[in-house]
Structure 1
Amino acid sequence: MRFFALAIAASFLAAASASAISKRQIGGVLICTGANATGDCVYQKYELYKCHELQVPFWQNSSTFAPDDDLFGCYPRLSDCGTICTSPTGCTNGHIDFDYEHKFNLAASQWNTLIRSFDCFTMKR
């Protein structure tokens, strides 16, 4: 009888703890003013499919732009959110994800002084 009561109590505890665990959110990006995650840094989970405007000191001053190892990527933009792109070559460097070669040194692609905003999106496996 005592074993039965302990088993029921354990199952209630397991159910309670399982409901408290929420699914991990994707969208984490590390942004730093210096290369290789140096200088002023901020790490945040950003809402997907929404434009995020960088603030000082990161506005046009981000040498590290490193998304988490999740199935998502981000498009850094030359313009602020809500601005229409008028550049003949486009207003993004293309998408940056976890596998992007220069995510810890955007100076290599000459984008460290250009990023003003970005938006992130999910990718398929």
Structure 2
Amino acid sequence: MRGGWSRSSPRACGARRSEARDRGSATVWSVGAIAVLCVAFGVVLGLGHAVVVRHRAAGGADMAALAAADHWAEGTAAACAQADRLARAQDARLTRCVIVGDISDVSAASGGGPFTAEVRARAGPATPRP
């Protein structure tokens, strides 16, 4: 090396310093992207669970209303007992049962905590009885 000249240009030295500062930044970006994906996945799972709970409550309410309407002639207690049995078979719980004539009006709930859904259903004959 004559005259104190180095083989690397000043531009190359600056590039090396920049590379040294950027070393490991891909790891930080990867961790950030993974965290965002985990949060999005959690939100999708929560929404999916809420939909399942809502459908379970709706199925329980519909089945309970039909059972109560089918047994209205046996009295309110017997009709509501049948409605409760069918709601439980659908993984729901009967929260309200009213029989007015041959029309049943029930509510069923499913889930717990922030994922609780309550659905109301009515059932009776297709045409009013004279």
TM-score, length-normalised on structure 1?
Answer: 0.32
Structure showing the higher helix proportion among its residues: 2
Tell me which structure has the larger Cα radius of gyration.
2
TM normalised by structure 2 equals 0.31
Higher strand share: 1
Pick 1 or 2: higher relative contact order, CA cutoff 8 A, min separation 6: 1
